[in-house]
């Protein structure tokens, strides 16, 4: 049954564009100065007179009912979980939304990362910036999950606006690792990983712009897939930067990962500009096989260059025996540009994040598709009033983004985007000879959460310490999956499997064959 905006209590001021009021002469004079324009009073008056005519034109928008995304299943706003009902601090908000009576996800319980709109349920995105916002629409992936019979039990805790690779920057509480509560889960899909690993839910939705699905999957010992860019629609999800936005499944098994991908992937009728219109959608779960005979696995040498612990290196290399036992051939391969790729990813992530979140209110501005206008307005207000309350990582990105804009006109971002084509080709050339590439997801074991009173420098470093092998594939858009390779010192070690664009079938097959042989041990 469809729900209306009013049934979710969306304030009128959030449901439509504010009235357009033309600037006065003094406002125009200031704007002209900020732009470096030298205008006379006569010129300013002329420009203002033209803008007066726009008041009526813009005002027409107030009378139009803009199309939104459907809400098909009833729900209540839910409740904030009590500490005793919030293992690992993994939940931001609890609810209980039952989808269709049958479907591929019937009987499965899920958590939705709290950067994703669920109508009538509070959404904070880990930040004071968005606190108090309640969407009036369901993100496309949420509708697809419910249409498939999934049962949504709540919104999972995330890092502050998802800008962290650790799990301590949420404005509420740090998310704790299920294997050791003193350790990070990694981030930013921290709650999703912890709750799946801890057995609280069967599956969760994650988001990935620098590794945020794969990183917590690795440190929590579960399966997390960053699909090819555009395979899963991002419609109705808070944006970090449209060129690196990905959403994907986080599960305990490869079979569940394939099943969830089947449900959430596919073209979204032009609502998401990231998507090509000719997406081919196989039934991934029916194509899994434990027989990897003929598959060629390339072990990326440069993926081990920052391994701070020999046990991570040895655990991953020992795990290659599982591929061999499943029938695959395994060889070392070198892609020197993988290391340079970290430098390419940096400006794209940080400068793109600043322009999209701080300047653009977390929407993919300038593209055709669905614009979540209530989310945009809530983010704009929050940025104006709560930027002082965000994490040190986000403040650093804001300062860096504004500085590189003023001083360098984002030329480093532009060069990085150009060089990303070279990085993509380097991986593509290797994947012409191998079915998949593999490496550690994170080159160290789960790390301690920062102690109270830690310095700003230490907190920023801990937020970024996990990204060495993951961020490159957000920029090049290759599908990449993390699976548990084994344990070292009692802690999970993640193995990352990377494949060709839109070849999730091979990535999932490789992971499934690996998983079956690992579990036979």
Same domain, 140 and 234: yes
Query: Which pLDDT belongs to residue 57?
Result: 84
414 in the same domain as 355: yes
H/E/C letters for each residue in 249-296? EEECCHHHHHHHHHHHCCCCCCCCCCCCCCCCCCCHHHCCCCCCCCCE
> Do 491 and 428 reside in the same domain of the chain?
yes
**Residues with Cβ within 8 Å of residue 429, at least 6 apart in sequence:** none
Instruction: State the Cα–Cα distance between residues 231 and 501, nearest whole angstrom.
Output: 10
Same domain, 90 and 57: no
Q: Do residues 122 and 93 lie in contact, with contact meaning Cβ atoms separated by under 8 Å? A: yes
CB 202 within 8 A of CB 256: yes
pLDDT in tens, 336-354: 999 999 999 999 999 999 9
Q: Please tell me whether residues 443 and 373 are part of one structural domain.
A: yes
Strands (E), 301-369: 329-333
Q: Is residue 10 part of a domain?
A: no
Q: Are residues 384 and 498 in the same domain?
A: yes
The pair of three-digit structure tokens given for residue 15, joined into one six-digit string: 């449901």
Handedness of CA 314, 318, 320, 323 (dihedral sign): negative
Nearest residue to 504 via CA among 168, 269, 289, 228: 228
Cross-strand bridge partners of residue 495: 440, 483
Instruction: Kindly report, residue by residue over 205-253, the tens digit of the pLDDT.
Output: 999 999 999 999 999 999 999 999 999 999 999 999 999 999 999 999 9
Query: Is the distance from CB of 247 to CB of 145 less than 8 angstroms?
Result: no
Q: Residue 169 — very low, low, confident or very high, per pLDDT cuts 50/70/90?
A: very high
Residue 156 sits in the same domain as residue 280:
yes
CATH number at residue 437: 3.90.1300.10
Same domain, yes or no, for 22 and 93? no
Judgement on whether residues 187 and 309 belong to the same structural domain of the protein: yes
In this predicted model, which residue has the larger pLDDT, 365 or 175?
Answer: 175
Residues 382 and 247 both lie in one domain: yes
Q: Which two tokens stand for residue 336?
A: 């020197």
Residues 56 and 184 in one domain: no
If asked whether residues 390 and 509 sit together in one domain, one would say yes
Per-residue confidence at 14, pLDDT binned at 50, 70, 90? very low
8 in a structural domain: no
Token pair listed for 455:
């310095």
**Residue 161 preceded by cis peptide, ω within 30:** no
3-state secondary structure of 41: helix
- Which domain does 49 fall in, by range? 17-63
Collect all residues with Cβ–Cβ distance below 8 Å to 195 and sequence separation of at least 6: 87, 88, 90, 91, 111, 156, 201, 204
* Mean pLDDT for all residues in the chain: 94
Q: What is the dihedral of CA 86, 87, 91, 95, to 10 degrees?
A: -60
Mean pLDDT on 85-101: 98
Q: Which residues are catalytic?
A: 113, 188, 212
How many domains does the chain divide into? 2
pLDDT of residue 7: 47
Point out the least confidently predicted range of 65-69, 70-74, 291-295: 65-69
* Residue 183, C-beta contacts closer than 8 angstroms, at least 6 positions apart: 176, 177, 219, 446, 447, 448, 449, 491
């Amino acid at each position: 049954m469809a729900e209306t905006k009013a049934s979710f209590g969306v304030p009128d001021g959030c449901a439509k564009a504010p009235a357009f009021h033309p600037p006065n002469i003094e406002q125009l004079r200031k704007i002209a100065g900020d732009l470096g324009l030298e205008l006379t009073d006569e010129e300013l008056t002329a420009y203002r007179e033209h803008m007066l005519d726009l008041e009526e034109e813009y005002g027409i928008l107030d009378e139009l009912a803009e199309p939104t995304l459907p809400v098909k299943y009833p729900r209540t706003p839910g409740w904030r979980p009590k500490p005793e009902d919030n293992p690992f601090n993994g939940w931001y908000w609890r609810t209980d939304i039952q989808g269709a009576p049958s479907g591929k996800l019937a009987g499965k319980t899920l958590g939705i990362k709290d950067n994703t709109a669920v109508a009538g349920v509070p959404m904070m995105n880990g930040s004071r910036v968005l606190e108090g916002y309640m969407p009036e629409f369901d993100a496309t992936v949420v509708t697809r999950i419910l249409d498939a019979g999934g049962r949504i039990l709540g919104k999972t805790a995330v890092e502050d606006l998802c800008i962290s690779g650790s799990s301590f920057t949420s404005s509420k509480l740090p998310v704790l690792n299920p294997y050791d509560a003193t350790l990070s889960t990694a981030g930013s899909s921290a709650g999703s990983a912890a709750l799946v690993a801890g057995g609280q839910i069967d599956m969760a939705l994650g988001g990935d712009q620098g590794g945020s699905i794969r990183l917590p999957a690795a440190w929590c010992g579960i399966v997390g897939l960053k699909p090819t860019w555009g395979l899963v629609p991002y419609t109705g999800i808070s944006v970090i930067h449209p060129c690196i936005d990905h959403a994907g499944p986080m599960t305990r098994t490869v079979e569940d990962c394939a099943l969830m991908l089947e449900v959430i992937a596919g073209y979204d009728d032009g609502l998401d500009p990231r998507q090509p219109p000719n997406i081919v959608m196989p039934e991934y779960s029916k194509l899994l096989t434990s027989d990897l005979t003929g598959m060629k696995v390339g072990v990326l040498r440069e993926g081990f260059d920052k391994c701070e612990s020999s046990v991570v290196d040895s655990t991953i290399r020992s795990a290659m025996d599982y591929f061999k036992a499943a029938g695959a051939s395994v060889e070392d391969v070198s892609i020197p540009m993988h290391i340079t790729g970290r430098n390419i990813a940096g400006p794209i992530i940080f400068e793109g994040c600043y322009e999209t979140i701080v300047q653009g209110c977390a929407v993919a501005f300038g593209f055709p598709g669905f614009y979540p206008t209530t989310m945009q307005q809530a983010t704009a207000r929050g940025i104006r009033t709560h930027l002082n309350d965000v994490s040190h990582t986000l403040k650093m990105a804001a300062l860096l983004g504004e500085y590189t804009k003023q001083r360098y006109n984002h030329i480093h971002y532009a060069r990085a985007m150009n060089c990303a084509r070279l990085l993509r080709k380097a991986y593509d050339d290797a994947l012409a000879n191998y079915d998949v590439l593999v490496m550690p997801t994170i080159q160290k074991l789960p790390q301690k959460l920062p102690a109270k009173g830690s310095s700003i420098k230490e907190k920023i470093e801990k937020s970024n310490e996990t990204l060495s092998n993951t961020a490159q594939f957000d920029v090049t858009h290759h599908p990449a999956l993390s699976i548990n390779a084994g344990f070292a010192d009692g802690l999970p070690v993640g193995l990352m499997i990377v494949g060709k664009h839109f070849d999730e079938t091979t990535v999932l097959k490789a992971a499934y064959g690996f998983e079956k042989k690992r579990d036979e041990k």
